[in-house]
């Protein structure tokens, strides 16, 4: 959510930003907010005047009564009563208009960074850099669920009976590999100075609307019936929510946290064959990282965050690349975003395994995350990034570490988490 004063002073900049995101249907919202804000400020000015005059009139009544001027005192009393009624009306109107303005402001996209490429959708994202040499072996690489089945490592049929499509059972060495990757990612981030945290896996609606747009909320979140609770789609939600309505001393910044959680997503719509299996699912586990920092430090932290993911994947012998997300591919709260994609030897292309985002002060403004500095308070900047999200990451791992005999190599960095195993062997 952008600053209302900025919108008021720079309506054309806000409108051009909307055009850059190809959301022209939202253009009228800018003028609507300005009109509502003007009316609100008129109500507020009148209410402030009545509030300021309250004590003066009360003293006037006392003075008139002391002078025996009862009729005049009664007239002032009536004026006080009328003013009180009008003030009650105005305060109600103030509240109503503030809520209307807030709801519209939450639909207006954040101002994107000038470096963001302009494009309609993810097909116009721009490759930044590649890390590692993508290899296509001289033997056929099966679909990822076929690889897992060779190790008796997945059971989709039973999961469908128990929970429906979009769920899975991981078994044996594949399940162990899944947990090993999560544990390795946890320690990787701790070694980079992040504080480990296991957050709540459910959050209240005020946190949901504080960390994401209404469109994202509808597409992703599972609501708990009869409760003001949602299952988290990523631990970023509850991790940023940890700071709701807080004032952080400036010398306590940055706050750098890494978190484990299960994640739950609706994942609506039909998907291609490569997104079946365990690629796009309703439940998965993830290691996440978030930063709360000073505004001037957020570009530096943005680069550090996505680099962490690149470095982790390279220690597991997986080639990756980074993509700069174009304007049309950015969610409304994001200022700038980079996707990390892993190489798929089977598909002979890269696919997304993580996303790093700088949200500026948008989340902080919604959640009232403020910083106490020597010269006053200001809103913090928040950033988030995926460390690793198996089982999707398992696809990249299995394909890139598969041998011709069907075994899978365990990179040196991961061997301590796999009980010293150097390979997973076919059953």
Contact partners, residue 43, CB within 8 Å, separation at least 6: 90, 93, 94, 97
User: Has residue 112 been placed in a domain?
Assistant: no
pLDDT tens digit string along 118-160?
A: 999 999 999 999 999 999 999 999 999 999 999 999 999 999 9
Are 164 and 261 in a shared domain?
Answer: yes
- Domain housing 364: 122-424
The structure tokens listed for 6 are 């900025």
Looking at the structure of the chain, the number of domains it has is 2
Domain check: are 137 and 11 in the same one?
A: no
Q: Which of 288, 241, 238, 291 is nearest to 260 (CA)?
A: 288
Q: Are residues 246 and 379 in the same domain?
A: yes
Write down the residue that tokens 């395994």 correspond to. Answer: 353
What pLDDT, on the 0 to 100 scale, is given for residue 355? 95
Measured between alpha carbons, how far apart are the two ends of the chain, in Å? 53
DSSP one-letter code for 57: H
Same domain flag for 282 and 204 = yes
Pair 327, 119: CB distance under 8 Å:
yes
Average pLDDT, the chain: 92
**pLDDT for the residue numbered 105:** 95
pLDDT tens digit sequence for 57-96: 666 666 666 677 777 766 767 777 778 888 899 999 999 9
pLDDT at 214 over 90: no
User: Are 49 and 183 found together in one domain?
Assistant: no
Q: Give the per-residue pLDDT at 292.
A: 98
Task: Give me 67's structure tokens.
Answer: 């002078």
- 398 within some domain: yes
Residue that is written with structure tokens 């109600």 in the block? 92
Which residues, at least 6 apart from 350, have a Cβ–Cβ distance to it below 8 Å? Answer: 134, 320, 321, 341, 342, 343, 344
Residues 295, 386, single domain; the answer is yes
Average pLDDT of span 325-350: 96
Q: Convert the pLDDT of each residue in 287-300 to its tens digit.
A: 999 999 999 999 99
How far apart CA 361 and CA 367 sit, in angstroms, is 10
pLDDT digits (tens, 9 = 90+) for 88-115: 999 999 999 999 999 999 999 999 999 9
Taking residues 338-365, what's their average pLDDT?
A: 96
Q: Which of 64, 79, 105 is the last residue of a domain?
A: 105
Mean pLDDT confidence for 297-322: 97
CATH number (domain holding residue 14): 1.10.287.40
Residue 120, pLDDT score: 96
135 and 284 housed in the same domain: yes
- Regarding whether 232 and 83 lie in a shared domain, the answer is no
**Between residues 274 and 420, the one the model is more confident about:** 420
- Environment class of 115 (CB within 10 Å of its CB; exposed 0-12, middle 13-18, buried 19+): exposed
**Domain boundary pick from 78, 105, 132:** 105
Residue 332 has pLDDT above 80, yes or no: yes
Residues 98 and 127 in one domain: no
CB 381, CB 358: distance < 8 Å = yes
pTM above 0.75, yes or no: yes
Q: Write down which residue in 105, 140, 171 finishes a domain.
A: 105
Q: What confidence tens digit (pLDDT) does each residue in 189-204 have?
A: 999 999 999 999 999 9
CATH number where 216 lies: 3.30.930.10
Q: What pLDDT score does 371 carry? A: 98
* pLDDT of 270 higher than 50: no
DSSP string, 268-296: -S---GGGTTTTS-SEEEEEEEEEEE-GG
Q: For the segment 20-53, what is each residue's pLDDT rounded down to a tens digit?
A: 999 999 999 999 999 999 999 999 999 988 887 7
User: Are both 275 and 367 inside the same structural domain?
Assistant: yes
Residue 116 inside a domain? The answer is no
Q: How confident is the model at residue 271 (pLDDT cuts 50, 70, 90)?
A: very low
């Amino acid at each position: 959510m952008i600053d209302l004063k900025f919108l008021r002073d720079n309506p054309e900049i806000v409108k051009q930003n909307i055009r850059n995101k190809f959301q022209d249907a939202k253009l009228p919202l800018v003028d609507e907010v300005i009109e509502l804000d003007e009316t609100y400020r008129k109500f507020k000015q009148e209410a402030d005047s009545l509030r300021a005059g309250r004590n003066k009139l009360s003293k006037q009544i006392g003075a008139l009564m002391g002078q025996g001027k009862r009729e005049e005192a009664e007239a002032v009393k009536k004026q006080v009563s009328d003013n009180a009624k009008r003030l009650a009306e105005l305060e109600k109107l103030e509240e109503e208009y503030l809520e209307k303005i807030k709801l519209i402001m939450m639909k207006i996209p954040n101002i994107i960074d000038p470096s963001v490429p302009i494009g309609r959708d993810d097909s116009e994202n721009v490759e930044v850099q590649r890390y590692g040499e993508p290899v296509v072996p001289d033997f056929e690489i099966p679909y990822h669920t076929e690889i897992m089945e060779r190790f008796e490592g997945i059971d989709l049929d039973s999961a469908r009976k128990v929970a429906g499509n979009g769920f899975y059972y991981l078994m044996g060495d594949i399940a162990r590999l899944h947990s090993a990757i999560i544990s390795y990612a946890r320690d990787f981030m701790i070694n980079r100075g992040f504080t480990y945290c296991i957050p709540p896996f459910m959050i209240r609606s005020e946190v949901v609307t504080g960390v994401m747009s209404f469109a994202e909320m509808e597409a992703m979140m599972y609501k708990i019936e009869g409760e003001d609770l949602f299952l988290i789609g990523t631990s970023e939600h509850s991790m940023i929510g940890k700071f709701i309505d807080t004032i952080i001393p400036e010398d306590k910044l940055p706050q750098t946290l890494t978190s484990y959680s299960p994640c739950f997503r609706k994942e609506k719509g039909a998907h291609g064959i490569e997104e079946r299996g365990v690629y796009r699912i309703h439940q998965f586990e993830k290691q996440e990282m978030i930063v709360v920092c000073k505004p001037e430090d957020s570009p530096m932290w943005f680069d550090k965050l996505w680099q962490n993911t690149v470095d982790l994947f390279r220690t597991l012998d997986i080639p990756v690349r980074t993509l700069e997300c174009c304007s049309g591919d950015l969610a409304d709260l994001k200022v700038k975003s980079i996707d990390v994609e892993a190489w798929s030897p089977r598909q002979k292309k890269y696919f997304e395994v993580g996303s790093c985002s700088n949200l500026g002060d948008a989340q902080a403004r919604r959640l009232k995350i403020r910083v106490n500095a020597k010269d006053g308070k200001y809103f913090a900047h928040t950033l988030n990034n995926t460390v690793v999200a198996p089982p999707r990451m398992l696809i990249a791992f299995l394909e890139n570490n598969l041998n011709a005999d069907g075994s899978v190599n365990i990179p040196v960095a991961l061997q301590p988490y796999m009980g010293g195993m150097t390979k997973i062997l076919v059953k």
